Chains A and B, each alone.
Chain A
């Protein structure tokens, strides 16, 4: 009888540990079987990506439709090449759409927002956004503003 209670206790402990791992996977790291669905890749070249990092979200009309897969420097054009993984269901992005890097809140993290164009043709796997808008760098804005203010007073 004594070994039985011991084994039940240890079994409960093990179960608790595994349950905790499952909670971590789903609730904390947002791992879900659904999001592992099919995606297709689109490219975009930016002059400046700011602090955009892999796994940043890609939103259209504020709804997340994919995530950034990789951010690399394109050595030939000196621009940043961003590889995006878009959910397969969203297969109707017009080819003249704009990809812009925006910031969530004043100090929040940066993500890519896609504004829809009007073309009838849609972007296919591996194609790129022609129209991109770089990240807003706060220091550059302040610099421009100061320069403008100096020029006005002078």
Chain B
């Protein structure tokens, strides 16, 4: 009985140490990928390819989700606010919730599912088929050639995707509110313009999406690079990417919101 408790304690300690170890490894990994010497010179083509894979190909799912989320917000906001005769505030509701929270968070979740899992699977398979070690063998640093362009592509794409999500969502809300439910157009847009501040709301939203972009891409490339070299290992790494990055995004969002918007 007593041994059982000690076993459990040991298990806790071991998993804590494992966690610390993988955190440390991923930190070193990130550092090496970003600050490896020679950097980007002559590697523009690699970055373009990854921007295409990570950014442009995620554009469709982000636009469509943004449109529907904006429309649902408009519809829900209207059905509640119309009871209080203040359906003019629907625009404000849609714009603020999209710009401050839903835009960065939902885009990051979609991004983790659409681009993050693909990155992990791709890098994991490269590792399993020993492409990475062959690269090292011929003197090419896989961190520079494979990881760095993917990481930067994710960091650049995320804020762009989030902003596009916001704009499409707000216009979706405007479409439902103005054209379908008949809210007066002037009060819809002026309500938005009075309540949304460029630095405090939009700027902070962009900072949020940048942070999410860094975290999600970091997790995705590290999980791929760190995957066990079996088909099962790749599948587990892909799952971990989506789970970890979703949790990290939601948790970080709470902290960032508490720091950014507590005074507003």
Give the interface of A toward B (CB within 8 A).
Answer: 3, 6-7, 9-10, 12-14, 16-18, 20-21, 23-25, 27-31, 55, 57, 105-109
Contact = CB atoms under 8 A, between A and B. Distances in A.
Nearest to B161: A17
Given A13-B55, A20-B166, A109-B194, A28 B160 contact: no
In this complex, the interface size class of chain B, counting residues with CB under 8 Å from chain A, is: 20 to 34
Interface stretch (B11-19, B196-204, B229-237): B196-204
B48 A10 contact: yes
B87 to A, nearest CB: 11
A25 B205 CA distance: 13
A10 B84 contact: no
A14 B156 CA distance: 9
B189 A27 contact: yes
Given A28-B95, A28-B170, A55-B194, A14 B48 contact: no
B202 A25 contact: yes
A6 B48 contact: yes
Given A13-B56, A17-B159, A20-B163, A30 B194 contact: yes
B49 interface: yes
A138 to B, nearest CB: 14
B48 A3 contact: yes
B57 to A, nearest CB: 9
Contact of A57 (B164, B189, B194): B194
B52 interface: yes
